[in-house]
Amino acid sequence: MIKITFPDGNIREYNSGVTPIEVALSISEGLARNVLAAKVDDQVVDASTPIQNDARVQLLTWNDTEGKKTFWHSSAHLMAEAIEALYPGTKFGIGPAIENGFYYDIDLGGKEFGSDQFKQIEDKMLELARQKSEYLRKPVAKADAIAYFQEKDDEYKLELLEGLEDGSITFYTQGNFTDLCRGPHIPQTGFIKSVKLLSVAGAYWRGDEKRKQMTRIYAITFPKAKELEEYLFLLEEAKRRDHRKLGKELELFAFSEKVGLGLPLWLPKGTILRERLENFLRRAQVRAGYSPVVTPHIGSKELYVTSGHYAKYGKDSFQPINTPDEGEEFLLKPMNCPHHCEIYKTKPRSYKDLPLRLAEFGTVYRYEQSGELHGLTRVRGFTQDDAHIFCRPDQVEDEFMKVIDLVLYVFKALGFHEFSAQVSLRDKTDREKYIGRDEDWEKAEAAIIKSAQEKGLPYVVEYGEAAFYGPKLDFMVRDALGRKWQLGTIQVDYQLPQRFELEYTGSDNQKHRPVMIHRAPFGSLERFVAILIENTAGNFPLWLSPDQLAVLPISEKYEDYANEIYLRLQERDLRGYVDHRDEKIGRKIRDAEVSKVPFMIIVGDKEQAEGLVSIRKKGQGDLGSMTLDAFMAIAQEEIQQLTHDR
């Protein structure tokens, strides 16, 4: 007999060799009908995999992330079967699950392929799914695997086989399709009830621009037709909210090929939005005891050699800048932290000086591949709301929890109410990509987990996601469309103080190393703005709106009164514009609505005669006539309420 421990801590005994699906049947037939795969200890396996020893077991359904990934990876195999049936001779690269759905890279041998062929493949996939073919796993000797794909003349699978050891190779077969695959897979194709091919793109084999370009087909599947309908609705909503589209319409930012790919140009309205975000955080940082600093956009190559960034990222960064002095090299700044270490070293530090909190809105540069660039979410030059806290070891947990409070304050003020935390630790086995002593890593990891627990944060642990110099706590925010984004991050670092030989004099009059905490509540300001645009659909809270109001005179007779009104509003730090165009008032109102201006102030004969204004609020309509002081009080109260800055 073996003991199976379930996620809720419940333990049951079963015969050795029991499978997850048999475990599910022992609980209920309803559960068994929904099991897609299982997590045995830390490994996701087929629901038919025998369990030989005591184990922790989680039965995975559509409601679990790993369950969805298994479902979508199995769907990729089903799509490949449909494509092979419709286009014999097709060669296949890889077909992984992604965040939403899956893709498969294929080589059609020069045949044209476009969206007009999507429905044919969708129909074939559903036809095959109804056959309820099992996904059958089979270990295969390397020689046999090579022979199989040589016969199919599939050079892509043969290349993948080159890196695999004999004894570790498995095939999966469903229906008439066999693929090289580690798995796991869902029990059978009948789980797949709805299919949608989403797009087609070119993709270089193994991401190498020198290799052949394959056809990448993106698709998504669901166990219920209704879920596909809901997803397609969200997809359309996402297009409507796309920050690239809204950024252009609202005149926030632009890109220019002459300036360079991935280097955004902030237009006046976008700059106002950025400045308001920065000022909001600056005020919060002053209250939290941070000191502002400014560092150059470049640094000596030796600075990043010392920090370790050059060894880790040098090949993927902008290449060194050579000066007229022979051998002198500079780099565009990829990180702010090495500069802040040098600021720390500008004078001797005592234990009484710590914690020292240095904050900077610092622009950094990283050479992202052109194919990876995407609006503001993936750029080559971006500004981080970066800060580094230099503290004593006994101050780490307290400082870490204070940063958590700051991140939560930012999220609340900006309307991000659904979030989770991810504790990102080192890979369990591959330690080569990390620097520093195990002892320091263990202390840093323990401090992060303890802080998250004491703050009551819902968190998950992800191995292999740590920065090369230390573990971190990443905040994953869910937006209005249910998408998850990684925003704020906090990292504990024992390594850079060591590499830069940072010291402070302790109460024992001896020299000690400080610990460094990296933090960025926004992360990348560019990426944060992109997510904010999409989360609000461009309807920013009043305090953030570039144009908070529009003063709309009914005709040119009332322009002087409109200008007078606007001057008084500016004195109270309320910003917008006066619409002087020779247009009817209805057109002016519609244009202000399209531009997502929160308040419209309409002035005409009655308003001018009585010294009043007529107020219209976006999304609510007319609020009636009132004095300008009464309106300004309404606006100021809304701003204070939204920023929680009373």
Give the model confidence (pLDDT) of 532-575 as tens digits: 999 899 999 999 999 999 999 999 899 999 999 999 999 999 99
Rounded to an integer, what distance in angstroms lies between the CA atom of residue 236 and that of residue 245? 13
Does the pLDDT of residue 246 top 50, yes or no? yes
Q: Can you give the pLDDT at residue 256?
A: 95
pLDDT tens per residue across span 397-413: 899 999 999 998 988 88
The DSSP symbol for 627 reads -
pLDDT tens per residue across span 135-158: 999 999 999 999 999 999 999 999
Does the pLDDT of residue 206 top 70, yes or no? yes
Catalytic, 388? Answer: yes
User: Which of 384, 495, 548, 608 is the catalytic position?
Assistant: 384
Q: Tokens 């000191």 appear where? A: 291
DSSP 482-515: S-EEEEEEEEEESHHHHHTT--EE-TTS-EEPPE
Catalytic, 241? Answer: no
pLDDT tens per residue across span 5-49: 999 889 999 999 999 999 999 999 999 999 999 999 989 999 999
Residue 239: which H helix or E strand, with range? Answer: helix 225-241
Catalytic, 518? Answer: yes
Q: What are phi and psi of 248, to 5 degrees?
A: -75, -45
Rounded to an integer, what distance in angstroms lies between the CA atom of residue 214 and that of residue 207? 10
User: Which of 179, 241, 337, 385 is the catalytic position?
Assistant: 337
Entry pTM: 0.79
pLDDT tens per residue across span 340-353: 999 999 999 999 99
Does the pLDDT of residue 645 top 50, yes or no? no
User: Which of 366, 426, 512, 519 is the catalytic position?
Assistant: 366
Catalytic, 512? Answer: no
Catalytic, 181? Answer: no
Q: Can you give the pLDDT at residue 465?
A: 82
Rounded to an integer, what distance in angstroms lies between the CA atom of residue 77 and that of residue 20? 22
Binding site for Zn(2+), by residue number, is: 337, 388, 518
Rounded to an integer, what distance in angstroms lies between the CA atom of residue 535 and that of residue 7? 33
User: Which of 77, 91, 349, 388 is the catalytic position?
Assistant: 388
Give the length of the chain.
Answer: 646
Catalytic, 580? Answer: no
Does the pLDDT of residue 316 top 80, yes or no? no
User: Which of 46, 105, 385, 386 is the catalytic position?
Assistant: 386
User: Which of 157, 518, 519, 588 is the catalytic position?
Assistant: 518
Question: Rounded mean pLDDT of the chain?
Answer: 92
Q: Tokens 């002053």 appear where? A: 286
* Structure-token pair, residue 276: 């308001």
Cβ neighbourhood burial of 510 (10 Å; 0-12, 13-18, 19+) = exposed
pLDDT tens per residue across span 480-500: 777 888 888 898 888 899 999
Pairing of strands 418-425, 459-463: parallel
SS3 sequence, 511-580? EECCEEEEEECCCEHHHHHHHHHHHHCCCCCCCCCCCCEEEEECCHHHHHHHHHHHHHHHHCCCCEEECC
pLDDT tens per residue across span 420-467: 888 888 887 777 778 778 888 888 888 888 888 888 888 888 888 888
Binding site, by residue number, is: 337, 388, 518
Does the pLDDT of residue 646 top 70, yes or no? no
Q: Can you give the pLDDT at residue 419?
A: 84
Q: Can you give the pLDDT at residue 83?
A: 96
Once rounded to an integer, what is the mean pLDDT over residues 579-606? Answer: 94
Catalytic, 337? Answer: yes
